[in-house]
Amino acid sequence: MALDVMPLAYALPIWMGQQEARRVRRGGAMTAGQDFDETVLARLQRLGGVQLAQRMLALFLEHTPKQLEAVRVGLQEGDFESVGRAVHSLKSTSGHLRLVTMQELAENIERLAMAKQREAILGPLHDLEAAFARVVPILEKYWSELDT
Top pLDDT among 32 and 78 is at: 78
pLDDT of the residue at 24: 37
Measured CA to CA, the distance from residue 71 to residue 51 in angstroms comes to: 30
Q: What does the pLDDT average to over 88-101?
A: 93
pLDDT of the residue at 148: 60
pLDDT of the residue at 17: 46
Query: To 10 degrees, what angle do helices 118-146 and 39-77 make?
Result: 150
**Which of 46-55, 62-71, 123-132 has the lowest average pLDDT?**
46-55
Reported as a pLDDT band with limits 50, 70 and 90, residue 39 is confident
pLDDT of the residue at 35: 62
Instruction: Write the class of the CATH domain 35-146.
Output: mainly alpha
pLDDT of the residue at 23: 36
Specify the long-range contacts of residues 85-91, CB closer than 8 Å, at least 24 apart: 87/113, 87/128, 89/63, 90/64, 90/128
- Residues 63-77: tens digit of each pLDDT: 999 999 999 999 999
* Count of C-beta atoms within a 10 Å radius of residue 13: 16
Is residue 32's pLDDT more than 50?
no
Is residue 15's pLDDT more than 70?
no
Q: What pTM, to 2 d.p., does this model score?
A: 0.76
Domain ranges of the chain: 35-146
